[in-house]
A and B are shown apart, each in its own frame.
Chain A
Amino acid sequence: MTFLEYAPAPESTGLLSLREAYGLFIDGEFVDGRGESFATISPATEKTIAEISTASDEDVDAAVAAARRAYDTTWSRLSGRDRGKYLFRIARLVQERARELAVAETLDNGKPIKESRDFDIPTVAAWFFYYAGWADKLDHAGLGANPAALGVAAQVIPWNFPLMMLAWKVAPALAAGNTVVLKPAETTSLTALLFAEILQQADLPAGVVNIITGAGATGRALVNHPDVNKVAFTGSTAVGREIARSLAGTSKKITLELGGKAANIVFDDAPIDQAIEGIVNGIFFNQGQVCCAGSRLLVQENVHDEVVARLKERLSTLRVGDPLDKNTDVGAINSAAQLARITELTAAGEAEGAERWSPPCDLPAEGFWFAPTIFTNVQASHRIARDEIFGPVLSVLTFRTPAEAIAKANNTPYGLSAGIWSDKGSRVLAVADKLRAGVVWANTFNKFDPSSPFGGYKESGYGREGGRPGLAAYLKPAPLGGSVGEPAAPAAPAMYAGAPATWVEGSATPMYVPEAASLRVHANATASESDVGAAIGAAADGTASAGEATAAAAATSATTASTAVPSAPSDTAAPSAATAVPSAASDTAASSAATRRSARKKADK
């Protein structure tokens, strides 16, 4: 045996005590679902982990009713400070049970334990800590004094980061004073159900968070339930479109975080070794099952051969296999269906004439596996350069000039994220300014922080999660003239000036999204963008009066902040906000820094 064939170092599943069957978590209790139960399996072995209930329409009714009751009688009457206490408690419990949650996540999802241990679960805790800090500072959220919760939020989340997506949805909803009915993805319900146990441990009032499991039908019943005030969905563009269609004409507020086909642009002056790492992290992190994955590599033509050669060499060192082994870099694909989609799209890539390459690697016989793959000689018209593959597959394209790179990067129906690699700061800023993507990473990739808003352009959805915009997605401004003597409107920062004045209670236009005030990404949006873009564009027009220069400055500073210390970038960058919310900004930044510290401490153990 050679040294590089490291001896197995499997994480123990001993501390995990799972039940054989799980019910639904409604009104603070586990109850049996009325639908037909199904097995959740480990994608690495195809072995059954537990039986999961399906929520029928009646169960959905019961869950929404419980959430409504909890909203009316308990949660909406609690002070922000008290809501914050519960959130802090949840955050600490997540940290205490971090190892257990990481093992469960890896078992159920197939992602490597080093990712669930070092990324997913610490990020979950960070999100709860961050929004716990906001709970008693809603007056400083930029919506005027006394912004109100929306009511009952219906949340449907995907299978790629199960518990992390739960945290992104639940934490801001609760901080803003809403109650929640959440449906995890069919294949990855396990950690959401463990999270329900944490809620019991935290003594969260019954009904504030309800977790119902099941397939697409359950999700459809939930988002279409008449007593739901807010729908938040993360998943495929097809389903997002269906939800948007079915909610049109209702008063429900909606945020959608959908697919992506991110361009990762490598200029010839890039720090080459770190760029290679960034490319690998961009597409092979979580087996490429990441909506913001850097799946389209745009390389400047004069360094193409060198980048590809180095990339192949680096790929040969990736360790594919047992997700529970602490040295595994690439785990299992989440489901047979997803594996089939990846297989089909890669076959199409070959058929269209792209060159396929994978390092030699032995894939386990059981389970769903796909070797890391790169395609060279990919043309912009190929399906593998257009469609979201959602797997460990990288398409390599070339460009000659920055203008061509920008044009190619933007030439996609999506617009969730992008990456730029260059040693030249001015070029990074100039290119970032022209990219129509919600998040632009400079000389790094896949960095997330609770204080940094995340969301997309075009078919990647609308609305933002994270930071103050993520909070605003669960709030409405207090009605005008609502509280005498409280100068609500003037207190609102200028960047949101358009929003409060035009808010209409029960507006029939669900597209109107005041949280589109996520200035940094919308500053470049034009009003000419179609459908979903229209709402965003309108918001951008409103902000343009605040001064284009500041908008651009905020955009670039938020962009580059992701390379270094992401302490509340967009919040503090907006000059008007700085006067309105100095205490809130610094408090939350401090709390998120504390989170990072404690999360790291935990990880060290």
Chain B
Amino acid sequence: MTIDTLPAGTLARDLVGGELTDSNLRRYLEGIPGVDAVGLEQRAASLGTRSIKTSSKAWALDRIIQLIDLTTLEGADTPGKVRSLVAKAMVPDAADPTTPRVAAVCVYGDMVGDAVAALGASHGDPDQGGISVAAVATAFPSGRASLAVKLADTADAVSAGADEIDMVIDRGAFLSGRYGLVHDQIVAVKDACRRADGSFANLKVILETGELNTYDNVRRASWLSILAGGDFIKTSTGKVAPAATLPVTLSMLEVVRDWHRLTGVKIGVKPAGGIRSSKDAIKYLVTVAETVGEEWLTPHLFRFGASSLLNDVLLQRQKLTSGHYSGADYVTID
């Protein structure tokens, strides 16, 4: 059996040196080298000073669009709003047909059916030119519900046609040191992502880094999520400040890089919340390319969770083509 075909659980057991029990996980996660906050932030800041111009900038702007999970997560969401979001996802800039499509739309579980219907034939794998439907689940954003409710929430979204599930971890359990519980829940949710045909919806595990507070915690939670079989690790729900930051994303990318070095398996990363400008998004692309390598800059390994970012990228894109800045009224609000 090659390393690629090994189930995540086997790799994880090899690494941890035993069953993924609470005490084994604790021993392993607490043995990981610490993070020096000053040094990490300095490295992120220095990556942020890269100067991306001309042809590199044009490539970066198009790629950012292709990596966006266009998101609406509001209590006020309606089928109409979701249809509007989907239309924007399919044709981000009506004035320029060369504009690429976004990777996915991200909605609450009960809106999955509307999103799927609105996408029609465009629904599909972003690597094949389609647009995926991602659903937040597991009592998003707080995650404060029983496991049964979380699993039902997940299974419901999957059966409605969601391709990707964005789950939240139990931050309370994590912060009180019950790593085994967090692990088991992720494993159970992953299992609930199984479709009738036996395939799985992609699982993004939201750490909610704003509540974990320290980089050491972010690093441990990242390891934990990967050991439990998450396909993506994601910074935030967007409902807690601070959401995604460059240093937090860098520390998660370092874990992904180390896991790849150890096992050959590539895990995705999704910063979400607070990334609003092209300038900021380009800093993330640089950080990904210089930390894990530019092969990570594809929809199945890197995403931006964002809503207002798209329009800023479109304005920058128009500026590159026309040579001058237009304005907010030259792109559609949704």
Which positions in A face B, CB cutoff 8 Å?
1-4, 6-9, 114, 118, 269-275, 277-278, 317, 326-327, 423, 443-444, 563-564
Are B51 and A564 neighbours in the complex by a CB distance under 8 Å? no
Residues of B within 8 A of A423 (CB): 33-34, 36
Q: Which of B40, B42, B285 contacts A3 (CB 8 A)?
A: B285
Residues of A within 8 A of B38 (CB): 274, 443-444, 563-564
Residue of B whose beta carbon sits closest to that of A424: B34
Are B50 and A443 neighbours in the complex by a CB distance under 8 Å? no
Are A4 and B290 neighbours in the complex by a CB distance under 8 Å? yes
A326 to B63, CA, bound (A): 22
Are A273 and B254 neighbours in the complex by a CB distance under 8 Å? yes
Are B35 and A326 neighbours in the complex by a CB distance under 8 Å? no
Known pairs A4-B294, A271-B35, A563-B38 / 7 extra A-B pairs, C-beta < 8 Å: A2-B294, A3-B289, A269-B34, A271-B34, A272-B33, A273-B40, A443-B38
Q: Which of B35, B52, B63, B285 contacts A273 (CB 8 A)?
A: B35
Q: Mark B59-89, 1 if CB is under 8 A from A, else 0.
A: 1100100000000000000000000000000
A-B CB proximity, top 10 nearest: A274-B39, A9-B51, A326-B51, A271-B36, A274-B36, A7-B56, A423-B34, A272-B33, A7-B54, A9-B53
Are A3 and B33 neighbours in the complex by a CB distance under 8 Å? no
Q: Which of B35, B50, B285 contacts A327 (CB 8 A)?
A: B50
In the assembled complex, B275 has its CB within 8 A of some CB on chain A:
no
In the assembled complex, B57 has its CB within 8 A of some CB on chain A:
yes
A148 to B80, CA, bound (A): 80
Please give the distance in Å from A600's CB to the nearest CB on chain B: 11
Given contacts A272-B33, A317-B290, A6 and B50 within 8 Å (CB-CB): yes
Dominant secondary structure of chain A at its interface with chain B? loop
Q: Mark B108-138, 1 if CB is under 8 A from A, else 0.
A: 0000000000000000000000000000000
A327 to B57, CA, bound (A): 14
Are B39 and A9 neighbours in the complex by a CB distance under 8 Å? no
Residues of B within 8 A of A272 (CB): 33
A317 to B43, CA, bound (A): 13
Q: Which of A3, A271, A317 contacts B39 (CB 8 A)?
A: A271
A277 to B35, CA, bound (A): 12
Residues of A within 8 A of B285 (CB): 3
Are A3 and B59 neighbours in the complex by a CB distance under 8 Å? yes
Residue of B whose beta carbon sits closest to that of A329: B46
Please give the distance in Å from A299's CB to the nearest CB on chain B: 14
Please give the distance in Å from A602's CB to the nearest CB on chain B: 14
25 A–B pairs (Cβ distance < 8 Å), ordered by A: A3-B56, A3-B60, A3-B63, A3-B294, A4-B289, A6-B50, A6-B56, A7-B54, A7-B55, A118-B49, A269-B33, A269-B34, A270-B33, A271-B39, A272-B33, A273-B35, A273-B251, A274-B38, A274-B39, A274-B40, A277-B42, A277-B43, A327-B50, A443-B36, A444-B38
A9 to B40, CA, bound (A): 25
Please give the distance in Å from B108's CB to the nearest CB on chain A: 34
Residue of B whose beta carbon sits closest to that of A309: B261
Residues of A within 8 A of B251 (CB): 273
A563 to B39, CA, bound (A): 9
Please give the distance in Å from A267's CB to the nearest CB on chain B: 11
Are A3 and B36 neighbours in the complex by a CB distance under 8 Å? no
In the assembled complex, B192 has its CB within 8 A of some CB on chain A:
no
A451 to B63, CA, bound (A): 45
Residues of A within 8 A of B60 (CB): 3
Please give the distance in Å from B45's CB to the nearest CB on chain A: 10
In the assembled complex, B246 has its CB within 8 A of some CB on chain A:
no
Residues of A within 8 A of B33 (CB): 269-273, 423
A379 to B57, CA, bound (A): 47
A564 to B52, CA, bound (A): 30
In the assembled complex, B193 has its CB within 8 A of some CB on chain A:
no
Residues of B within 8 A of A4 (CB): 289-290, 294
Given contacts A3-B289, A4-B290, A114-B49, A278 and B56 within 8 Å (CB-CB): no
Are A327 and B51 neighbours in the complex by a CB distance under 8 Å? yes
A118 to B63, CA, bound (A): 29
A1 to B59, CA, bound (A): 10
Are B56 and A444 neighbours in the complex by a CB distance under 8 Å? no
Given contacts A4-B294, A7-B56, A271-B33, A277 and B289 within 8 Å (CB-CB): no
Residues of B within 8 A of A443 (CB): 36, 38-39
In the assembled complex, B297 has its CB within 8 A of some CB on chain A:
yes
Please give the distance in Å from B231's CB to the nearest CB on chain A: 23
A393 to B206, CA, bound (A): 42
Are A444 and B59 neighbours in the complex by a CB distance under 8 Å? no
Q: Mark B18-53, 1 if CB is under 8 A from A, else 0.
A: 000000000000000111101110110000011111
Residues of A within 8 A of B49 (CB): 114, 118, 326
Are B290 and A444 neighbours in the complex by a CB distance under 8 Å? no
Are A274 and B51 neighbours in the complex by a CB distance under 8 Å? no
Please give the distance in Å from A146's CB to the nearest CB on chain B: 41
A2 to B297, CA, bound (A): 11
Given contacts A118-B49, A317-B290, A3 and B297 within 8 Å (CB-CB): yes
Are B39 and A278 neighbours in the complex by a CB distance under 8 Å? yes
A2 to B53, CA, bound (A): 14
A118 to B57, CA, bound (A): 23
Residues of A within 8 A of B54 (CB): 7
Which residues of B in the span 276-319 have a Cβ within 8 Å of any Cβ on A? Answer: 285, 289-290, 294, 297
